[in-house]
Amino acid sequence: MVDLEGEGVHWEQDMSYGQYLALERLLDCQHPRSTQHDEMLFIVIHQVSELWMKLCLHEAYAAARHIEQDHLQPAFKMLSRIARIQEQLIKAWEVLVTMTPADYASFRDALGQSSGFQSYQYRELEFLLGNKNPRMVEAHRAHPQHYQHLTRVLHAPSIYDISLQLLKRRGFDIPDHCLERDWSQPYQACAEVELAWSRVYRETDEHWDLYELAEKLVDMEYNFQKWRFSHMKTVERIIGYKKGTGGTGGVSYLVKALDLQFFPELWSVRTAI
């Protein structure tokens, strides 16, 4: 133990910066499959994105648990942090687009059939926010641990389902089929839920905390859509209309994914009010 007297600084000598952060392992995870210069950029962008997604999941699970317990203030802190992380994820595209189509083509074959489609953290985040699709877990069959975990998240209520349960506890008329259902299926928007949110927005004086929750959810979906859109445009810019390595049509698949909404009534309520 070192004590810098008067500085109030204490640290354990048996623990270094590198040890604490497991840097030896972290910085030994970049293994280009080709000798092409830009493959390192491609690997690092993905790894950084996966690390940010890990933190998003950590925050989103904790936020959901707090909402379940009617502790909205700590949930807001976590949802605000998620929005900041999403800004970093979106910014990452600006680094990636410095890679030209020819740069990428020079090592694309080395990627084989691997694809972002197989990102289990991305799929977990989609499920946790509410974009449920049972077929999406199939891509993870080969990895039983990920498969089991994703299946559990698929069958659990999303952060939106949990928010609707909160609305019910606050006295709003939320239909039973929103409160108890097969959570593995996509959520179906309904008029009663839109009406509940419209009351939250119109009668803010009575529901400031629910209004804040609604806006934080909207921020999260808005940022998610920005990420999806930037991904789609970056892909168009780098590989044009080539098919994806994951077996989809490529850009056409990513365009369709833009239609998938997490919190439908929080958007439709804007028209209804």
Pick 90 or 156: Cβ nearer ligand NFK: 90
Kindly state the number of chain residues that form the binding site for ligand HEM, as judged by CB under 6 A: 23
- Minimum distance of ligand NFK from residue 108's CB (angstroms): 5
CA 85 – CA 91 distance, rounded (Å): 10
Q: Are 247 and 228 in contact (CB under 8 A)?
A: no
Query: If binding is defined by CB under 6 A, does position 175 make contact with ligand HEM?
Result: no
CA 273 – CA 262 distance, rounded (Å): 20
Query: If binding is defined by CB under 6 A, does position 244 make contact with ligand HEM?
Result: yes
Pick 66 or 123: Cβ nearer ligand HEM: 123
Q: Are 170 and 72 in contact (CB under 8 A)?
A: no
Task: Select the binding partner of residue 257 from ligand HEM, ligand NFK, none (C-beta < 5 to 8 A, by kind).
Answer: ligand HEM
Pick 168 or 237: Cβ nearer ligand HEM: 237
The neighbour count for residue 202, using CB atoms within 10 Å, is: 13
Q: Are 95 and 40 in contact (CB under 8 A)?
A: no
**Residue keyed to tokens 């239609």:** 259
Nearest residue to the partner ligand NFK, using Cβ: 116
Q: Are 26 and 45 in contact (CB under 8 A)?
A: no
CA 123 – CA 113 distance, rounded (Å): 18
List the one residue from 76, 104, 172, 262 that touches ligand HEM (CB under 6 A): 104
Pick 56 or 78: Cβ nearer ligand NFK: 56
Query: If binding is defined by CB under 6 A, does position 115 make contact with ligand NFK?
Result: yes
Task: Select the binding partner of residue 186 from ligand HEM, ligand NFK, none (C-beta < 5 to 8 A, by kind).
Answer: none
Q: In terms of Cα–Cα distance, which of 141, 89, 96, 93 is closest to 118?
A: 141
Task: Select the binding partner of residue 114 from ligand HEM, ligand NFK, none (C-beta < 5 to 8 A, by kind).
Answer: ligand NFK
List the one residue from 96, 137, 167, 214 that touches ligand HEM (CB under 6 A): 96
Spell out the residues 6+ positions from residue 18 whose beta carbon is closer than 8 angstroms to its own: 24
CA 13 – CA 32 distance, rounded (Å): 35
List the one residue from 41, 44, 83, 111 that touches ligand NFK (CB under 6 A): 111
Residue 155 token pair = 């069958």
Q: Are 174 and 193 in contact (CB under 8 A)?
A: yes
- Minimum distance of ligand HEM from residue 247's CB (angstroms): 5
User: At residue 11, what are phi and psi to the nearest 5 degrees?
Assistant: -145, 155
Can you name the residues that pair with 10 across neighbouring β-strands?
3
Backbone CA torsion sign across 226, 227, 228, 233? positive
Pick 74 or 116: Cβ nearer ligand NFK: 116
Task: Select the binding partner of residue 122 from ligand HEM, ligand NFK, none (C-beta < 5 to 8 A, by kind).
Answer: ligand HEM
Residues 212-231 touching ligand HEM, rule: CB under 6 A, are: 231
* Interface residue list for ligand HEM (CB under 6 A): 45-46, 49, 96, 104, 115-117, 119, 122, 231, 235, 238-239, 244-248, 250, 253-254, 257
| Residues near ligand NFK, by CB under 6 A | 46, 108, 111, 114-116, 239, 244-246
